[in-house]
Amino acid sequence: MKLIAHNLIKYYGFIIILLILPTDITANKGLDIAIKSDRNFDGYEDSTSEMTMELISKKGDVVTRKLKFKRLEVPGDGDKSLAVFESPRDVKGVAILSFAHKTEPDDQWLYLPALKRVKRIASK
């Protein structure tokens, strides 16, 4: 009886180790992927792009918006980005400024040219 109990403890202990081991390995792989991804995005310094956004309603109507997007890398922190809408006329000049932080909530502001005001966007 003692031998059977001892063998069962060994068997279940082995099974538990096998179940725990793969999760630890995959957790390290996930962390490695995140670190490599972060390193790949570091070092580009800044970029500028022109974009076209298509908004499609449930009815199938399409509204096209054009905007310019600028991004600046900040060493040791997140990125700063600015998006300015160029068309259509009703959104022309609307701008969104965003400061992304690695450890804190992002800071965002919205410029509304019709009001000539800047509004802070809450990130929480």
Residues 56 and 105 in one domain: yes
Q: What is the domain range of residue 29?
A: 1-41
pLDDT in tens, the chain (124 residues): 455 555 556 666 666 665 665 555 555 677 777 777 666 655 566 788 899 999 999 999 999 999 999 988 877 777 899 999 999 999 999 999 999 887 888 899 999 999 999 999 887 6
- Residues 53 and 99 placed together within one structural domain of the fold: yes
Residues 37 and 58 in one domain: no
CA 70 → CA 17, 53, 73, 76, 87, distances in Å?
A: 50, 16, 10, 19, 17
* Overall number of domains in the chain: 2
* pTM exceeds 0.85: no
Residues 55 and 108 in one domain: yes
